Amino acid sequence: MPIQVGIDLVSADTVEAALKTAHGERYLERVYTDRELEDCTTAHGVDPERLAARFAAKEATLKVLPAGDTGLSLRSIEVLRDPTGRVSIGLTGRAAELATSEGFVEFALSLSHEAGMAAAVVVARAPDEPAPT
């Protein structure tokens, strides 16, 4: 199928709670890349809503791949943000392998966060099947 869509919704409260646990630092290290953490850091510190949006993006991507019961690090799915603010998905490691095996050549991402909730939609495109001869 040439187009696949994934969506996920995450509460910023759950992210904030994770940051306050004894494993808060490891939570950041195991889930988010350095670039993601930089994009989520404001003058007031790490923004739980932005982190929640990125977690939602990772989960939405997993639904698209689809990861099934494959073990992979969430850091292998990265939300990239360009200077204009446009976001995209970058894949490495096992996530990249899954995308290649499914024939996906392009991923599009949209994020939204407001009032403590964050959502992400991921669209993956594979080339159309060649017309039968």
Partner 1 sequence: MNQLIRTVLAGHARLPVDVTTLDDTADLYEAGMTSHASVNVMLGLEDAFDTEFPDAMLKRSVFASVSAIAEALKSLGVEAP
132 part of the interface to partner 1, by CB under 8 A? no
Report yes or no: 89 and 104 within 8 Å, Cβ to Cβ: no
Which range touches partner 1 (CB under 8 A), out of 36-44, 68-76, 78-86, 96-104? 68-76
55 part of the interface to partner 1, by CB under 8 A? yes
Closest CB to partner 1 among 68 and 83? 68
Q: Figure out which of the listed residues 22, 43, 115, 131 binds partner 1, where binding follows CB under 8 A.
A: 22
Tokens 């923004």 identify what position?
47
27-31: long-range contacts, CB 8 A cutoff, minimum separation 24: 30/73, 30/74, 30/75, 31/55, 31/58, 31/74, 31/75
97 part of the interface to partner 1, by CB under 8 A? no
59 part of the interface to partner 1, by CB under 8 A? yes
